[in-house]
Structure 1
Amino acid sequence: MLARPDSSRLLMPLRQALAVAFVALALAACDKSEPPYVERPVEDLYNGAMNAVAANNWEAAARGFDEVERQHPYSVWATKAQVMAAYAYYQKNNYTEAVSAAQRFLQLHPGNKDAPYVYYLIGLCYYEQITDVGRDQKITQQALAALEEVVRRYPSSEYARDARLKIDLTRDHLAGKEMTIGRYYLRQGLYIAAINRFRAVIENYQTTTHVPEALHRLTEAYLSLGVLSEAQNVAAVLGYNYPGSEWYADTYSLLTGQKVASGDSPKEGEGWFGRTWRSIF
């Protein structure tokens, strides 16, 4: 009878080949994930990254500033490099890395003279990612919080003025989201849900451009529910605060069946409208 070959000996070359291939793949993966460490003077690294900034090569700039911090973490250059890395990532539209770098800088150097700018940069990263009102507005909320942090911490800084402008636009955007949902509920006949959305705009976003429409839609919802007194009160508020608005004219016509010229105010002889206006104001 022929002897069977030793299976362990047959598998040995295969195991060795697989081991070599695994090591080669691992080394290749390491090469891709992290560049080889070549120590260089901090001035050379920083100046090289700044040259990349001048050339608008933001990816190379970000890598260069990160390398400054990696090789010389305790040098004075490393602190500035952290700010510049966040800036380079922002310019590359890599907002996640930009926010991460900025937050790391603030954790390490909260009292640094560049802190106001870094807080502002975080706000910009969120602000520039704001999407249309048909989508989730989590980023918009983050933008609002970050911009308000700039104003709260550094109200007299050069960044606070622009932050305030962007806060107004951000709040208007959030109000627009509430209006979109409220209109949908109104069309679907979900009047209580619609009322909650319109009231949220009126109470939380009083300085936005959406308030006149919110008052008009709120009047519509109350009328649809048959709550005439509430509809009249809301309409009076609209007429008092926005007499020149097209929404005032529409609301007046909705409640009275009469047209009113845009810019006119309720008159004493206009029945319930005038009486309600005077009773409230």
Structure 2
Amino acid sequence: MRPLKVLATVVLFSLLSACSWLGGEKEVAPDVPEQQLYDEALSALEADNYGLAIEKLQLLEARYPFGRYSEQAQLELIYAYFRNYEPVSARAAADRFIRLHPNHDNIDYAYYLKGLTAFEEDRSFFEKYLPLDVSQRDPGAALDSFESFSALLNRYPQSEYAPDAQKRMQYLKNRLATHEIHVAAYYMKREAWVAAANRGRYVVENLQETPAVPDALAIMAEAYTELGMHDLAKNSMDVLSLNYPEYQVRPFKKARATLTQTATFGLLGGAEPAEPARPIPAADRMRADAQKRADDNAQQQERSLFDRMTFGVFEDENNAAK
């Protein structure tokens, strides 16, 4: 037994020595003062080096969890995750800050960043520069963003971030309403009248003052007619006619194929079902208004030059004819 114990001892020492030779012992990073770590993190944020900023802020929170910069570092970490395109980590950091510091002076900033992260999460490169209809996509991130902005406005209406959050909520409201109409139109084509009517009623009751409301009323009227609920159908149509007199009613359900459609494989012989309205983005509206003002100014300058060249003779004749 004694030779066996000696052999076991030799093998154990050999293994320990091998671990040290292979770098088993790691060098411990020297302690960095809290102020220095925080300054380095801020410098990285100012230089748009968000990866380095995240590393410094995480190290600061790990080594000085109760330091004077701990709470501020958690806020800066949310922003760094957001700018580094890490939405999952940004939302998790925001939730953690809200849970740990419910009475913090800057908790409204955490709510705002959480909503902004979800707002930008599903906006791809192509959606920013191409006119894609994002309302047909899954609205999960839009719902999360809407809820975060809503919590911010309800709890901190005087926050400096409230005006921007309110504008973004209006955009999200339009998008969510249009998504509901897309789903309702799908149900109409599948003759699921009850589901379509419920989607339309949800828009009318909960998402008012959106471009999708007239489509919702039209869907409700058509779905209730198919269900034989003529009183509800008439009420929906009366509300639609009273509030949107210029709305052109078209059927949302899929028409049965005619003989001409069958013979031409659907190319001729029938009208397509109505398509839901698409909310016009604010950037497109501003661009259209600016173009209209430019065209009006150009036309006014052209008329003024013509008046000067003709000494106002033709302008006077035009005014007299009017």
- Shared fold by TM > 0.5? yes
Candidates 190, 193, 196, aligned match of 1:194: 196
SS at match of 1:133: helix
**Greater relative contact order (CA < 8 Å, ≥ 6 in sequence):** 2
| 1:125-164 aligned within 5 A | 125-130=117-122, 132-164=134-166
Candidates 35, 41, 44, aligned match of 1:49: 41
Q: Give the share of equivalent positions with the same residue, in percent.
A: 32
CA-to-aligned-CA distance 1:250-275 (integer Å, 9 cap, x gap): 36xxxxxxxxxxxxxxxxxxxxxxxx
Partner of residue 248, structure 2: 249
Question: 1:24: how far off?
Answer: 6.4
Partner of residue 205, structure 1: 207
| 1:93-242 aligned within 5 A | 93-130=85-122, 132-242=134-244
CA-to-aligned-CA distance 1:162-182 (integer Å, 9 cap, x gap): 111222222222212211111
User: Distance between the aligned counterparts of 2:179 and 2:55, measured in 1?
Assistant: 38
Question: 1:68: how far off?
Answer: 1.3
Partner of residue 74, structure 2: 82
User: Distance between the aligned counterparts of 2:230 and 2:98, measured in 1?
Assistant: 55
Closer/same/farther in 2, CA of residues 198 and 48 from structure 1, 3 Å limit? same
* Count of residue pairs the alignment pairs up: 229
SS at match of 1:249: coil
Partner of residue 309, structure 2: none
Q: Which amino acid aligns with 2:43?
A: N
CA-to-aligned-CA distance 1:216-241 (integer Å, 9 cap, x gap): 12222233345444333211101111
Closer/same/farther in 2, CA of residues 230 and 111 from structure 1, 3 Å limit? closer
1:175/1:201 contact within 8 Å kept: yes
Question: 1:119: how far off?
Answer: 1.3
CA-to-aligned-CA distance 1:112-142 (integer Å, 9 cap, x gap): 2211111111111122224733343232222
SS at match of 2:103: coil
User: Distance between the aligned counterparts of 1:142 and 1:214, measured in 2?
Assistant: 23
TM-score normalised over the length of structure 1: 0.72
Closer/same/farther in 2, CA of residues 180 and 36 from structure 1, 3 Å limit? farther
1:95/1:125 contact within 8 Å kept: yes
Tell me, yes or no, if structure 1 residue 73 matches structure 2 residue 72.
Answer: no
Q: Which amino acid aligns with 2:66?
A: Y
Q: Which amino acid aligns with 1:47?
A: D
Partner of residue 258, structure 2: none
CA-to-aligned-CA distance 1:87-130 (integer Å, 9 cap, x gap): 11110111111122222222332222211111111111122224
Question: 1:58: how far off?
Answer: 0.5
User: Distance between the aligned counterparts of 1:241 and 1:65, measured in 2?
Assistant: 55
* Unmatched tracts of structure 1, length 5 or more: 1-8, 252-281
Partner of residue 257, structure 1: none
Question: 1:56: how far off?
Answer: 0.6
Q: Which amino acid aligns with 2:94?
A: A
User: Distance between the aligned counterparts of 2:181 and 2:42, measured in 1?
Assistant: 46
CA-to-aligned-CA distance 1:34-62 (integer Å, 9 cap, x gap): x9543111121111111111211111111
SS at match of 1:84: helix
Quick check: 183-192 or 217-226, which moved more?
217-226
**Superposition CA RMSD, Å:** 3.0
User: Distance between the aligned counterparts of 1:65 and 1:160, measured in 2?
Assistant: 27
